[in-house]
Homo-oligomer: A and B are copies of this chain.
């Protein structure tokens, strides 16, 4: 409960407040339409204070987005261990996590921001691709490969196109981003259906015979 981490290692409280405020503003307005005034006000500081922590609006954007991406990276790392057990269970686990921890939370707004501002901040895109997306894709790829080796999955091109596996989750995120106010989607239902289709689509012909043995 020791609050007062304003020293070094732990970025100062102010720093965090400004980043939080900035992300809110950027989420709601996009980069160009976001106003430094509004960010400062949200953070409860004066305009000039923001510039004590970030050199410019662009630096603030990059810094804030990066710091939001960091915890995601850690999450991905956790998934990157050697797979054991049923490939389908592992896949299920990952997708459910993605649906519940990303799509169903505020984190999906990061996706919108990256789509919107990517061209203006290519290095953030590169960073995100390298640290998050490539690793996530790699995890799925390994998992499919593992499932095939295990005889659980058919041999398909899904090893080379993992997006054919998890794409519907991304689409669910996009739908929610676009239409949450107009026509919200039942993410749980989508998740289950998504898993149903994909696991059946991957299942090796004999799999059905084997699965009973699993019990």
Contacts and interface: CB of A to CB of B under 8 A. Distances in A.
Contacts of A13: none
Contacts of A185: 161, 163
B190 A201 contact: no
A28 B119 contact: yes
A193 B157 contact: yes
B129 A194 contact: no
Given A160-B189, A167-B167, A167-B168, A174 B129 contact: no
A79 to B, nearest CB: 18
A167 B172 contact: yes
A182 B33 contact: no
Given A171-B163, A179-B129, A182-B125, A158 B32 contact: no
A157 B191 CA distance: 11
A190 B170 CA distance: 15
Given A30-B117, A158-B193, A201-B202, 19 more contacts: A114-B178, A122-B182, A125-B178, A125-B182, A129-B178, A133-B179, A156-B196, A156-B197, A157-B189, A161-B186, A164-B190, A166-B171, A167-B169, A167-B171, A168-B168, A170-B174, A197-B197, A197-B201, A201-B201
